[in-house]
Amino acid sequence: MNKRTLIQSAAAFALAVSLPVAVLAQDKPLKIGVTAGPHAQIFEQVKKIAEKDGLKIQIVEFSDYIQPNAALAAGDLDGNSYQHKPFLDQQVKDRGYKIVNVGYTVNFPIGLYSKKVKSLAELKEGARFGIPNDPTNGGRVLLVLQDKGLIKLKPDAGLKATPLDVIENPKKLKFVELDAAQLPRSLDDLDASAVNTNYALSAGLNPKDAIAQEAAKSPYVNLLAVREQDKDKPWVAKLVKAYHSEEIRKYVQAEFKGAVLAGF
């Protein structure tokens, strides 16, 4: 290497290390995983606000609840926005993910839907009832059914209750466990199904038509998740700030008209 080349290389290196991190990061957008529907819609708005603060975001849509955490843990995503804390806690426990909650987002009160009855009281004995097959959302639905007086669970069942924890079932409901994304399509075959609001909206269901709904206040507020090693990085704080802005709060209220609630 001659003297001129050495000087040029040294100058280039000095320029690179002197540039702000935000400038260097512009060529590599943050990849944020979301599920299709409201989470994706909301993040399109978050993206616009974050860009004003120097963050470039690439939104990556998923059709299930498992892949966004797997992709985040593998380094294919920088963060995700689609799950509530009980679900994340279960994933961390089961799969050993180093993923953490950095800010709450929105709440989707889960709804109970039917094409065959107008109310829970109309369900006949032996009715087939669809619930999500993941532990946290399945338990969530069973707690709603207990709250509505249809079943009774073991006292210590908690948020992760399963059909095996049902100790009283006067109508002898038969629980059919399905992937959450499949539940809207199950309404033609089952007597009723619980459907997460993001999947309900994507399938054209109106939460106002639910025959029953979870109470608005619950442990199931959704969150922004990142890898543990990234939680204190400046871009995380900027991302949370963008999501927690008044613009997003107003957007959620206007766009979803109570079907989705701001949880921040």
Paired with 168 in beta bridges are 152
Helix 234-243 and helix 38-52, axial crossing angle in degrees, nearest 10: 120
251 found inside a domain: yes
Tokens representing 111? 């709804």
CA distances from 37 to 2, 11, 82, 186 (A): 58, 48, 10, 19
pTM as predicted? 0.73
| Local mean pLDDT, 10-residue blocks, the chain (264 residues) | 44 43 61 95 98 97 95 98 94 96 94 96 97 91 95 93 97 97 96 93 90 84 97 98 98 91 91
The answer to whether residue 237 sits within a structural domain is yes
Containing domain of residue 97, as a range? Answer: 28-108+220-262
Same structural domain, 203 and 228: no
Whether the CB-CB separation of 190 and 205 falls below 8 Å is answered with no
Q: Is 177 in the same domain as 233?
A: no
- Longest alpha-carbon distance in the chain: 89
140 and 56 part of one domain:
no
In a domain, 15, yes or no: no
In a domain, 1, yes or no: no
Q: Are residues 43 and 85 in the same domain?
A: yes
**pLDDT value for 217:** 74
Q: 136: domain CATH number?
A: 3.40.190.10
Residue 225 near residue 45, CB atoms below 8 Å: no
Which of 213, 228, 249 corresponds to the end of one domain? 213
* Sign of the four-CA dihedral 151, 154, 160, 166: negative
For residues 103 and 232, state if they share a domain. yes
Same domain, 41 and 164: no
Instruction: Looking at the structure, tell me whether residues 229 and 100 fall in a common domain.
Output: yes
Residues 125, 201 within the same domain: yes
- How confident is the model at residue 135, as a pLDDT? 82
- The position carrying tokens 């507020």 is 221
Q: In total, how many domains does the chain have? A: 2
SS (H, E, C) 73-134: HCCCCCEEEEEEHHHHHHHHHHHCCCEEEEEECEECCCEEECCCCCCHHHCCCCCEEEEECC
Q: Mark which of 197, 213, 229 sits at the end of a domain.
A: 213
Q: Per the domain annotation, does 12 fall within a domain?
A: no
Judgement on whether residues 102 and 126 belong to the same structural domain of the protein: no
6 located within any domain:
no
Indicate whether 150 and 56 sit together in one domain.
no
Q: Do residue 133 and residue 71 come from a single domain? A: no
Helix, strand or coil for residue 167?
strand
Please check whether residues 104 and 224 belong to one and the same domain: yes
Query: CA 176, CA 130: separation in Å to the nearest integer?
Result: 5
